[in-house]
């Protein structure tokens, strides 16, 4: 008997908002974002900065987390992703602030944006419109405009690649490092062909991962180089799959999360560990090997996902892309619409 994930009518019925189609467009959206970022007026921003703060919440913060991981250890200034009502204490006239809100109306981001102006920071805005765009335009600040019609988490290609391309133009991403972009996009093209809705489960790693997680609570453990990806898996399973999920990464997990293997067996029988590996992160891989040994004897199931590519960017984005597809397929397996966010919308109205 074939998998329900190979039934195109079932997929379309349970994905009325077109989340799978949006995920499939990732490589196309990425290329568009790079082109759009090249057109942005940045004349007022070409100066030396002491630090970069990326202010955003939820799905709008993920692009910043990915950028931080990509530039870890190679960027000349510290990068902090601020998911809060207020900026870090060190923000001042020497700080560049990216205010990121897909809607342009995120309360926390607007507060940080206002604080950045008061502290004399250089502020660049990324949004599709809303109050953030209106205020920035009045103040003659540069605004990168996202296309409308996306869920914030689904606009990740536009978010990450706009941040990356603008950072390159401002000298925060070296030309050498930017050379990884072409390989990353090629890897994403290949994965897109492998994981699209019409590709059968037998040949589709995204669908297979979803089926292996069906009925279990996912616990995600990533390599150190994939911290943002482990976080993305957790939030995508929350939002697209409508399932509880937890995440951690090594070596931090060795100091706390590992103790979950000693939980009551009745609890662990409902848990699946997902190990997301960067094959070029040798130190983390060795630790993950030992971690997997422990988990295999306690968790109901252990599933491994390996990143692809020779460059760091390809490995980060390929690992994330597999999880994005899997989360949407898992939501559909549960009979949910991956695009709906009723509980988030309810809280925003309160």
User: Catalytic positions, please?
Assistant: 239, 255, 348
| CA–CA gap between residue 75 and residue 305 (Å, rounded) | 28
Q: What are phi and psi of 248, to 5 degrees?
A: -160, -175
| Peptide bond connecting 220 to the previous residue in cis, omega within 30 degrees of 0 | no
Name residue, tokens 């911290």: 227
Report which secondary-structure segment, H or E, holds 277: strand 271-277
| CA–CA gap between residue 135 and residue 247 (Å, rounded) | 36
| Burial class for 185, CB neighbours closer than 10 Å (0-12, 13-18, 19+) | buried
Q: Which two tokens stand for residue 337?
A: 């619409």
Let me know: does 306 contact 279? Beta carbons within 8 Å: yes
The most distant pair of C-alpha atoms in the chain lies apart, rounded to whole Å, by 64
| CA–CA gap between residue 51 and residue 197 (Å, rounded) | 42
| CA–CA gap between residue 73 and residue 194 (Å, rounded) | 32
| CA–CA gap between residue 165 and residue 145 (Å, rounded) | 14
| CA–CA gap between residue 113 and residue 55 (Å, rounded) | 8
3-state secondary structure labels for all residues of 33-102:
HHHHHHCCCCHHHCCCCCEEEEECCCHHHHHHHHHHHHHCCCCCCCEEEECCCCCCCCCCCCEEEEEEEC
Strand arrangement, sheet containing 246-249: 246-249, 217-222, 271-277, 301-306
End-to-end CA distance of the chain: 46
Q: Which two tokens stand for residue 190?
A: 């290949």
């Amino acid at each position: 008997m074939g998998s329900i994930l190979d039934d195109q009518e079932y997929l379309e019925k349970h994905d009325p908002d077109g989340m799978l189609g949006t995920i499939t467009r990732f490589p196309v959206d990425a290329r568009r974002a790079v082109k759009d970022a090249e057109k942005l007026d940045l004349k007022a921003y070409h100066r030396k900065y002491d630090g970069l703060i990326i202010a955003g919440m939820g799905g709008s913060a993920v692009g910043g987390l990915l950028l931080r991981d990509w530039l870890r250890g190679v960027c000349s200034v510290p990068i902090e992703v601020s998911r809060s009502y207020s900026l870090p204490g060190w923000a001042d006239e020497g700080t560049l602030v990216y205010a990121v809100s897909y809607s342009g109306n995120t309360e926390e981001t607007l507060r940080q944006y206002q604080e950045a102006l008061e502290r004399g920071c250089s502020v660049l805005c990324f949004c599709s419109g809303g109050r953030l765009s209106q205020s920035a335009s009045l103040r003659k600040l540069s605004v990168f405009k996202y296309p409308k019609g996306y869920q914030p988490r689904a606009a990740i290609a536009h978010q990450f690649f706009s941040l990356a391309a603008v950072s390159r133009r401002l000298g925060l991403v070296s030309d050498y490092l930017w050379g990884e972009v072409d390989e990353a996009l090629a890897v994403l093209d290949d994965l897109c062909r492998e994981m699209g809705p019409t590709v059968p489960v037998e040949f589709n790693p995204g669908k297979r991962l979803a089926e292996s997680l069906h009925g279990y609570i996912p616990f995600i453990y990533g390599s150190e180089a994939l911290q943002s990806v482990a976080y993305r898996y957790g939030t995508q399973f929350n939002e697209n799959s409508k399932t509880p999920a937890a995440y951690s990464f090594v070596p931090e997990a060795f100091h706390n999360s590992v103790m979950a293997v000693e939980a009551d067996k009745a609890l662990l029988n409902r848990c699946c560990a997902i190990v997301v590996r960067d094959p070029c992160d040798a130190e983390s891989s060795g630790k993950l090997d030992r971690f997997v040994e422990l988990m295999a004897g306690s968790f109901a199931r252990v599933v491994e996902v390996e990143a692809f590519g020779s460059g760091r960017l390809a490995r980060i984005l390929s690992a994330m892309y597999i999880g994005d597809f899997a989360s949407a397929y898992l939501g559909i397996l549960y009979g949910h619409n991956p695009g709906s966010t009723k509980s988030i919308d309810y809280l925003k109205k309160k």
